[in-house]
Structure formats: structure tokens, C-alpha cells
Structure 1
């Protein structure tokens, strides 16, 4: 059994990330990985020539099976739905089990939600992990020609909807620092200087906590909403807020004595914040460390 577990663990990080990108949910991705382990431990591994390809095929099918029920749940979701955030870049957090980078930014995951399940699977496997078209065809039970067509549609769709962003991590960090200081300091003018004129704010409370039920557009409205929320939150017992690496990019995270409170992801372009994604739903904050102090960001 030790050898069986070791063989599976060698690919666990990859499997989690494939499932997370397919589902946008930490809990669902972890469940899919557990189901993949059960299948792996029960299979005749002598018949498996390529464990990585086999496990990727298994996790993708498991994720596809879960997508329909996940989409049904989202139809009755209160307010905007955002993917679950992950803190990355620090030892001991759940994202240690993920192979992360720009391709799992919250902004991209939001765009992937607009793809069909098959398009999403092809995009994740082909564009993110470089899985050969033949293997993806085997996963989906389709021809290679069909997979290439799905991939073409998915790439065009993502390219048309994916927000433009600054590629320089340091520039992103500096804007995030200004955004955080202005927000927590209640400085509307400074926050306006950090926001693009057409900035859009999306908050996900899921009906569990107070949040905007529709996206907020315009720098002035976004700034006033954020400073008001920050002012209300300042009185929460044990509030700890700071810079954090959220889904591979500089962002903001906060905890209170009750546990994780919020994760904020920014889309930055031309030195200004273009989009703000705020996840407040406590059911979606499993990707924030619960047992550590204030968040940190790698330099």
C-alpha cells in the first residue's frame, strides 16, 4: 500500500490543480482527488502504462461529473458567484498541494466559468498543462479533430473575455499596496488614484454575509463601497488584514478571531486596478490558512 500511495502522491498536486481549475472550488477539488485515490487504489496498476496520463484522465472525468451539479447550485446562488480563492506562496497553506501560477488567477477562473464543460476541460488540459490532443480525446471520448475544434473555440472565447493585466509582479504588488493602504485608511481620494475610471467590483457573499448583489461599476462608486466596508470591518474582534498572494498574484486577505474573513484579488493594468474580486462567503474561504497569523506576501 505504501508504494501505491507514493505513486499517487507523486501526482497529487497536479490532480488537485486540474480539478480546481475545472470546478473553481477547493472543497470539490479535494473531494475529486479523494475519489481519484479510491479508484487508483482499487485498480489493477499492472495494466497502467502511464500513471500520470491515467490519473489525469480519471480526475478530469470526475470533475466533469461534478460540473453539472455545481452549475445547478449556482443557478440559485444569491448574488454574483466567484471561484474559491487560494492563498499561495507560503508554507503550510492548502495551496501547497497545487501547481499554481498566472493560469489560476481568479480573473481567468471567472472566464472559464463561461465555457461549456467540454471546452473548459480542453482548455485546462491543452492550454495549461500541454496534454497532447490524443490524450484529451481519450479523456472526453471524442476525436482529435473535435478536441482541436473545442480548443480553438475555447481559446478564442478566453482571449475575448480575459482581462488585460500587467505582467510585472512588482508593479502589481505596488498597486496592491496602494489599494490596501487607501482602503483600510478610509482615504477615498487615494483609492480613486489607484482605480481605473471604469473599475468594476464584484463581491461574493452567497447570501451568508452582507455583499453587493450586483457588480459595481465606476471608480467613485467602487471606492466609496470599499472604504465603507473597511470601516465597518475595522471593529471586528481580532481583525488581521494584509497583503497576501492570492491565486499566484499579489492580493489581500484578512482574518478575525472567528476565522478567515475575506480574500481580495485584483486585476491590474496600466498601473491601475481594473477589477476587484472580493470573496466574503465563509463557505468559500477554506483556501485561507486558519492556523497562522497575519497573511504574508513573498518578496
Structure 2
């Protein structure tokens, strides 16, 4: 079979294409291997052209802000697509915000506040981008994406664009039922009229609460495990004696024990192994299985 450099040249596209591209520096954990090929499309048309060219047997992985992922040390095979500047637009439409998939959640919350749109402030507490928020129905501080999303535009593997309404996305806790291989392009998030100063004050409260409770200045990946029904993941982890637990340079945060930290030299394997150790101890202590909320992508070293 020809080398990936020969199979993935993407003629007719205008975005940046890199081979054997490091992904670790892009991840919030600052760990992980390389992408066989990394493509950063300029816009929807550029992305559609690329998807139509990519051979059907080449896997395609989409990365956003890389805030809630562990990229394994062996890297990611096939084509990795990173949505960036051309997918970060934010527009106000009445009581709604239409935001590109690469727009940061915090930035969307700030735009909503300036426009006097209430109901989107919870996004200020989510470290990620709108595309990821749709994919995993991200939520915090009393609300989630499902509660405010009116529609999302997606692109399927054949380069076709489709608009799906809230019901079609099949939202559940930290889950959406997107078609296999679909890429979120943009989303419409609807709020309600409010006072801009009051909304900004609410955002400030959320940011202060997050900074007080979470290790926001550390190399971390956000909440590691989903909350089981009727339980808080952090409480189960704490009760199992895992607060501050270390494996090499990977550590369970002492500040919020549903966060893993890279203390400086942790590999992705260290982080994932530590997470699995936490799951084992929680299961032994409480009989409850914790399920990863962080996406683990790629192959081991």
C-alpha cells in the first residue's frame, strides 16, 4: 500500500496539510504522539473538497480545542482534521448566537453577554469549543448544550452539509446522536433577553467559582469521568482514597479529584493508566463503574 504521504496530498484544497505532525503540544495535557496527516481547512468548501478526496479506508479524526482528550503516545492514524480560524465566527441573530465549531465556549458566552442574551453564561465554565460542546452535550453550572441548541449544521463524510434540529441530535447526558463520521460546522444557540451587566456579573461568578474549585492553570483535560446516576464522580474518587494519587508524573488533582494532571513529564500512557487505576479503586470501594468523559484517541506507543 502506498505511503500515507502519497495517498493524502489533497489536491485542490487551500488549507495547511502536514505529515507526521506533533499533536501533543496542541493538547491541554501537553502529551501525545503525532498525526499521520494533519489538515487545517480554510472553510466549509475546503473541508468538503478534502473529505471527497480522502480514500474511504483512511480513518478521519476531528480535533477541536483538544481540551477534553488524551491523545495516545503512538499518535493518530489516517487524517486528523483541525478546525480553526475559518470555523470560529460568532454572529448575533436576535436572541440567538450562531457560532462556528471552533469558537471557544467562553468567547461565545462573552458575545452573548454583550448582546444582552441570557441563558448562555454556563458556557463560560466549559473549557472547549462549540463543536465539542455539541458532540458531547457539554454542560456546567446548571445547564447544558441540549437546553439551548436550536440547530447544528454538520458535514458528512461525503462532503454534504445538513442542518439538524435539537430533536434530531438525540441529546442525552454527555452524548449526542450525530451520524457516524459527521463533523459539526456551526450551531445556533438560543437564549432570552437579559441585562448585559447582570449577565457579565454571572459570567464573572462562574469564572471565579471554576477557578476556586478546579485546577484551571494546570496541564489538565477537564472532568475525567462522567457522574454516575445519583452520584458525583469526584466524591467516589475521594472516598476511594485517590485524591493526590500519583503514577509517575501523572496525578489526581488534590484540588478537584475528578481532574488528572500532567505535572510536567507525564506521558499519555501514564495519564490513562492513572485513570484506569482510579476506576479500579472506585469499583473496589463502592461497586460503581466510572466511565471516561475524556476522549482517548489514537494508539499506544
TM-score by length of 2: 0.25
The structure carrying a bigger helix percent of its residues is 1
The structure carrying a bigger strand percent of its residues is 2
RCO comparison, higher one (Cα < 8 Å, 6+): 1
